[in-house]
A and B are shown apart, each in its own frame.
Chain A
Amino acid sequence: GAVVSQHPSWVICKSGTSVKIECRSLDFQATTMFWYRQFPKQSLMLMATSNEGSKATYEQGVEKDKFLINHASLTLSTLTVTSAHPEDSSFYICSASKPGEETQYFGPGTRLLVL
């Protein structure tokens, strides 16, 4: 199997606070994890590629200082939304791939609402 979990599944926070979202591969080691953002009724937008033990690679237009990504182990990547604002409210989804494989296994997503 290839199961990816995310925690929390949903979070509500006040504007200006920071929120951490975890992405875990439960039954395999993931050298690469991807973070996506999805606004209502829109498609997924790739934010960054996270490689274990190295700095994340961010897509154009994504602020690396605002969306901090840490991939400290082969089964865990975290996304921290710093100084969150209402416009950061979105559905954040991670995916993980096994070494040498193209298939991405997606997590269930985390819904963030910033008040």
Chain B
Amino acid sequence: TQLLEQSPQFLSIQEGENLTVYCNSSSVFSSLQWYRQEPGEGPVLLVTVVTGGEVKKLKRLTFQFGDARKDSSLHITAAQPGDTGLYLCAGEQSGTYKYIFGTGTRLKVLA
């Protein structure tokens, strides 16, 4: 069974601070996605990374896929209260279109 561990589990920071969320596995994934989920809603896709070492930027968010495609990180610069939510990584089991979700990181940004 492929497992995705996210760290930290919880993070509470002040507005304007930077943070990094990590997503780690011992398994190789074909691709990896990052989502943000608000309470009572479905997850919303932020980005998909496919190539080992790939870096993608989405405004203040920077996503990186590990060279070996076993891990990924999400860096948020100058966090804002609107960034508050549950961040989930999800790795695709090779060739299946099935994604295994990480354990989640709950972020709270205080104004």
Contact = CB atoms under 8 A, between A and B. Distances in A.
Interface stretch (B14-22, B77-85, B91-99): B91-99
Contact of A106 (B40, B42, B97, B102): B42
Contacts of B92: 102
Interface in B10-62: 31, 35, 40-45, 48
B44 A42 contact: no
Per DSSP, chain B at the interface is: strand
B88 interface: yes
Nearest to A95: B42
Interface residues of A, number: 25
B98 A42 contact: no
Q: Which of the four size classes fits the interface of chain B?
A: 20 to 34
A102 B102 CA distance: 18
Contacts of A95: 42
Given A34-B98, A43-B101, A43-B104, A102 B40 contact: no
Contacts, number: 50
Nearest to B106: A41
Nearest to A105: B45
A97 B97 contact: yes
A85 interface: no
B110 interface: no
B7 interface: no
Of A4, A46, A104, A108, most B-chain CB atoms within 10 Å: A104
A109 B38 CA distance: 11
A74 to B, nearest CB: 16
A49 interface: yes
5 contacts: A34-B98, A43-B101, A97-B97, A108-B41, A108-B42
Interface of B: 1, 31, 35, 40-45, 48, 88, 90, 92, 97-104, 106
